[in-house]
Amino acid sequence: MNYDVVIVASGKGERAKLGYNKDFYIMKDGKSVLDHSVLLFCDDKDCRNVIVVTNEENFDKVLQNDKVKITAGGKERKDSVYNGLKLSQSEYVFIHDGARPFLKKEIVEALKEKVVSDKAVCLGRMAVDTVKIVHEGKIERTIDRNTVFLAETPQVFERKLILDCYARCEDVIFTDDASLVESMGHTVSILIDPYDNRKLTRQEDFESL
């Protein structure tokens, strides 16, 4: 199979309190947070294009590679993803957060295999804590945590499927790409990630990097 990846790195990262885009934070190994994902996909022979979506002032900070293409982010995350998707050319496309530098090659391989049969796959993990539904500061009910799946990225799709969904999503409110695809009536499979694939968000997330 062949695929492209859209890596979204255009957020402001205000909760990280770094004063700049958190995806360009330099870790102890000398690489930026974003570099880890870019290198992982550049090293995969099945990946044709690594499309980085970021703000124009950060274009020169993106790792240079023959596979790498850069485009500007939009007003909202969905606008940024769509900008990246419009540059994709392969049969399948991964969509990944630039702030998740711990993605494992084994998971990429598993996602590649699953998307060929299922067309839409969401990576994530099952909840391990007790899950409560809360309204106005009061617990309304407790739900079975075995039915709760915490979505991560990459999320992987047949390219024509995700492009069609984005072309029709103007009035759709969604928090991730899988929920968009679901809202359009398509089935999305899940893949459990057993590894640490956390998203770096808060100031304390960067203290031990």
- Please report the pLDDT score of residue 31 as a whole number: 97
- Provide the mean pLDDT of the chain: 95
Give percent of the chain with pLDDT exceeding 90: 89
Nearest to 36, CA basis, from 49, 20, 21, 24: 24
pLDDT in tens, 67-102: 999 999 999 999 999 999 999 999 999 999 999 999
Strand intervals (E) in the chain: 3-9, 47-54, 68-72, 92-97, 120-126, 131-135, 138-143, 149-158, 189-192
152: its two tokens: 């991560």
Q: Is the pLDDT of residue 208 over 90?
A: no
pTM (2 decimals)? 0.95
**Distance (Å, rounded) from C-alpha 128 to C-alpha 209?**
25
Task: Provide the β-strand partners of residue 61.
Answer: none
Domain ranges of the chain: 3-206
Task: Provide the β-strand partners of residue 192.
Answer: 124
Fold of 3-206: Spore Coat Polysaccharide Biosynthesis Protein SpsA; Chain A (3.90.550)
Contact between 81 and 177 under an 8 Å Cβ cutoff? The reply is yes
Packing angle, helices 105-118 and 33-42, rounded to 10: 60
pLDDT in tens, 37-50: 999 999 999 999 99
Nearest to 38, CA basis, from 78, 5, 1: 5
pLDDT in tens, 116-156: 999 999 999 999 999 999 999 999 999 999 999 999 999 99
φ, ψ dihedrals at 13, nearest 5°: 65, 40
Three-state DSSP at 56 gives helix
